[in-house]
Amino acid sequence: MSGTVAVIGAGVVGASVAYHLARRGRRDVILLDRNSGPGHGSTGRATGGYRAQYATPVNVRLSLLARDKLRCFEADTGVDPEYRQAGYLWLAATPAELAVLRAAQAVQHAEGLPEAVEVGTDDIARLNPALCLDEVVGGVFCPSDGFLRPTAILAGYLAAAARLGVRLHWGVEATGFGRRRDGMLGTVRTTQGDIDVSAAVNAAGPWAAAVAAWAGVELPVAALRRQVAVTEPFDRLPPDMPMTIFAGDGFHLRVRDGRVLLLWPTPGVIGKPYDDSVEPTWVEAVVAKAHRRVPVLRQAAIDRGACWGGLYEVTPDKHAILGAAPGCPNLFFANGSSGHGVMHAPALGQLLAEIICDGSATTVDVTPLRPTRFAEGAPNPTSELL
């Protein structure tokens, strides 16, 4: 397929797709975003966790491919992605939660993540001495999980893509598609005029369903608010403390840039999916959990002005949607990472470039991510915890 490829959305996913297309030799790639510069979408709101501890083979494989690519990211792009192996420590409060973590670990071992191990309460106390273990019966830990810098990965892909000839347009909003007589996309309509294309990529993050609808395709990607409470600078927890997650309710914390970030998933604002404000009552509730579970945090003050909210882009089975749109073979989806989009972007960009350039992805079998799986009644199995 030759001709212009327009990538709609210059978050980390769109930037990775554009970079990988250019690396594959595509010389006519346009990356456009309605924002005035990088990082105003979900990518700039991410906390920067990386993990391979997932419950399905495809998600583990995406993480392992991404990890390989993070290791050579600086050589490839000139930017340090700040991948640091601090580990992810998952905590179970009941035997049932532990059983779910163990089942996921069996998948991880089968997919090539032998360093993920089960840990008892003594190990947990050693890995994170700040924890109160009253609610904890056991857990799992993977030392090669850890952290990355979302804005660095975005900046690296944008800069490297531009060097390879990708034309980047900020402040340009895509507004629709023009179809050819054969039903294929012929143009991307934008606020700056029409672009003739041989293909288009939907990388519009939480706004992806609207873009798909222009082609008459129902894309099951919903925006879901995530809030982050931030402490004032606090040095009583170490910077290399593992990401620590209570599997039962998803409360988790990490240290970033000398502050502690507290997260706890809640349903979002009913009827206002794009509301990304921070609710004071939520901050109080997450802080109460933090004080109970990590008592030293009673000494930390919350910096209310630094707290932020952002949007996940969630699919019904919490797995990404990757590949050609049903009924519109030159529109491609790289959507619905369901809150894992930064860590998986290096893999998703490469795999979608394989699909566009070669007709299918070969590095990882992405059949479980095919856009048609929901209509087929064959979504991926989801776990309550992972």
CB 187, min distance to ligand FAD, A = 14
Cα radius of gyration rounded to whole Å, the chain: 21
Is 30 near ligand FAD (CB under 6 A)? no
Would you give the binding string for ligand FAD spanning residues 286-315, x where CB under 6 A is met? ------------------------xxxx--
CA distance 217 to 236: 51
# residues contacting ligand FAD (CB under 6 A): 40
Q: What is the DSSP string of 278-303?
A: PPHHHHHHHHHHHHHHSGGGGGPPB-
Of 43-51, 52-60, 138-146, 233-241: span binding ligand FAD (CB under 6 A): 43-51
Does residue number 9 form part of the binding site for ligand FAD (CB under 6 A)?
yes
Provide the H-helix boundaries in the chain.
12-23, 57-71, 73-77, 95-110, 121-127, 150-163, 208-213, 280-293, 341-358
Q: Which stretch binds ligand FAD (CB under 6 A): 98-106, 107-115, 204-212, 366-374?
A: 204-212
Question: Which range in 9-17, 57-65, 297-305, 365-373 contacts ligand FAD by CB under 6 A?
Answer: 9-17
- Helices (H) and strands (E) counted in the chain, each on its own, are 9, 19
Least distance CB 215 / ligand FAD (angstroms): 13
CA 114 to chain centre: 23
> Can you tell me the distance from the alpha carbon of 154 to that of 362, in angstroms, rounded to the nearest whole number?
24
List of residues 6+ apart from 288 with CB closer than 8 A:
none
Q: Does residue 8 belong to the site contacting ligand FAD (CB under 6 A)? A: yes
Q: Which is nearer to ligand FAD, 308 or 374 (by Cβ)?
A: 308
Residues 6, 195 contacting (CB under 8 angstroms) = yes
Query: Does 257 interact with ligand FAD (rule: CB under 6 A)?
Result: no
Burial of 159 (0-12, 13-18, 19+ CB in 10 A): middle
Does 323 engage in binding with ligand FAD (CB under 6 A)? no
Given the rule CB under 6 A, which of 20-28, 41-49, 156-164, 280-288 is the region that contacts ligand FAD?
41-49
Block residue for tokens 């212009």:
4
Query: Quick check: 276 and 223 in contact, CB under 8 A?
Result: no
One symbol per residue from 156 to 185: x for binding ligand FAD (CB under 6 A), - otherwise; what is it? -----------------xx-----------
| Distance of alpha carbon 90 from alpha carbon 141, whole angstroms | 6
- For ligand FAD, which is the closer residue by CB, 176 or 327? 176
Tokens of 276: 């990304």
Does 326 bind ligand FAD (CB under 6 A)? Our answer is: no
With binding defined as CB under 6 A, does residue 61 bind ligand FAD? Answer: no
Task: Indicate the residue among 47 and 128 with the shorter CB distance to ligand FAD.
Answer: 47
5, 12, 262, 364: which one contacts ligand FAD (CB under 6 A)? 12
Q: Tell me if 351 contacts ligand FAD by CB under 6 A.
A: no
**DSSP-assigned letters across all residues of 68-104:** HHHHTHHHHHSS----B---EEEEESSHHHHHHHHHH
Contact with ligand FAD (CB under 6 A): which of 7, 11, 353, 364? 11
C-beta closer to ligand FAD: residue 53 or 98: 53
Regarding 346 and contact with ligand FAD (CB under 6 A), the answer is no
What 3-state DSSP class applies to 129? Answer: coil
CA distance linking residue 253 with residue 261, whole number of Å: 5
Name the minimum Å distance from CB 147 to ligand FAD: 8
Using the rule CB under 6 A, which residue among 4, 19, 21, 43 binds ligand FAD? Answer: 43
Q: Is 100 in the site for ligand FAD (CB under 6 A)?
A: no
Beta-bridge partners for 322: 334
Of the pair 81, 206, the CB lying nearest ligand FAD is at 206
Site residues (CB under 6 A) for ligand FAD?
8-14, 32-35, 40-43, 45-49, 173-174, 203-207, 211, 226, 228, 310-313, 337, 339-343
